[in-house]
Structure 1
């Protein structure tokens, strides 16, 4: 859908918000080049300086990446995610350590705060995950696995924790793919399941949920550190 035309008040802020919304809603996926300056000027009815200032601000937050002579590309879906991507870099061990901190607390909260609908969602995601594993759909598997962990954190109903975790979505999905035991043509240990974690949450057992969350993340960390 085309971007809305701006009003003549706070133009830069309005453009920043509309660009941010386009990225957040998936109009421009991660890795895709956004429209050129002339195209954005025409769509928004503003001058090039306004567009440049807005793009510069979003590049500073990590949402966009300006590549001289090539264009501007989407780097993350939110400023939080962009900041985390910069901090995490390519150090998988650090990503897993942060995941452990957030997911263990998320599992503990989920075991006491979850709804029946959220338990059903966890079961459905695990079923989909199992199908993708059986069919060798590696990229789908990584996305669904990351979605399952996000659903666990959401089930804890802590808004700030959920927001922090959402900022990690892209690096978590990448870490799932990097640590997955189903990489084609590579020998690995058996795939780590999450049924016991879902059971602990369903049974409102926070201690067991914490133990399950700690267990699989500690195993992933051990694999990375021994590789």
Structure 2
């Protein structure tokens, strides 16, 4: 009996990629400024030496990159000269100040919601995460210290029971981890702060336990402000 055929992922043809790259270069070079209508498929196919179907797919790729847009009955128009960056790329080049402004919005609100919505299971997870962070403060390697800190913050965000908030926080984790590792490498944080956030993080967990949203939000805001100040001092 013949085995079922396994189909691999479809890949754009080299001709489509080459055609899209050529058109992208012409747009970037100003041959077609923003607002300009591209030549028709037949004209482009002749200029590029490819078929109309290849041109059609290349234009679709440019549209996906945010460079062109088709207008029904009017044609395809240039709407940008640089392709859209994905969220991960934008985060990687964002400044620490920009990242922490957004982190503040996410975590302060999440802490307030967690204080209202937390369950007994959430409290058990928070206590475990806090204990792991406190243990890491003493003598763990820098990576373990940073990871335990992020894990506690994520546990608090998750206790808000809003999956979108958790997803947003997770998007920031790689950038946060890199910034915090830079901080502990540039500054001897264990010496600079003997408590190293034990009291503040304990107060956060206590506020969530006590169902005190105002206190939970205030604690996390103050803690993030302190981290921003240290990052600025180490830059």
Provide TM-score, normalisation by structure 2.
Answer: 0.58
From 149, 152, 164, the equivalent of 2:153 is: 149
Distance 1:88 1:95, change over 3 A: farther
- In the TM superposition, residue 182 of structure 1 has moved relative to its aligned partner by 9.5
Distance in 2 (alpha carbons) for counterparts of 1:182 and 1:166: 25
Aligned partner of residue 116 in structure 2, secondary structure: helix
Aligned partner of residue 192 in structure 2, secondary structure: coil
Residue 116 of structure 2: aligned partner: 112
Residue 207 of structure 2: aligned partner: 200
Alignment of 1:93-172 (within 5 A): 93-172=97-176
Task: Give yes or no for contact 1:142–1:173 (8 Å, CA) kept in 2.
Answer: yes
Provide TM-score, normalisation by structure 1.
Answer: 0.60
- In the TM superposition, residue 161 of structure 1 has moved relative to its aligned partner by 1.3
Distance in 2 (alpha carbons) for counterparts of 1:207 and 1:132: 28
- In the TM superposition, residue 165 of structure 1 has moved relative to its aligned partner by 1.1
Distance in 2 (alpha carbons) for counterparts of 1:148 and 1:207: 19
- In the TM superposition, residue 123 of structure 1 has moved relative to its aligned partner by 0.9
Provide Cα deviations, 1:24-56, integer angstroms capped at 9, x if missing partner: xxxxxxxxxxxxxxxxxxxxxxxxxxxxxxxxx
Count of paired positions: 157
Structure with higher Rg: it is 2
Distance in 2 (alpha carbons) for counterparts of 1:161 and 1:134: 31
CA RMSD of aligned residues (A): 3.1
Task: Give yes or no for contact 1:119–1:202 (8 Å, CA) kept in 2.
Answer: yes
Task: Give yes or no for contact 2:112–2:216 (8 Å, CA) kept in 1.
Answer: yes
Residue 229 of structure 2: aligned partner: 222
Provide Cα deviations, 1:56-99, integer angstroms capped at 9, x if missing partner: x9xx99xxxxxxxxxxxxxxxxxxxx624533426222222221
Distance 1:186 1:89, change over 3 A: farther
Task: Give yes or no for contact 2:137–2:190 (8 Å, CA) kept in 1.
Answer: no
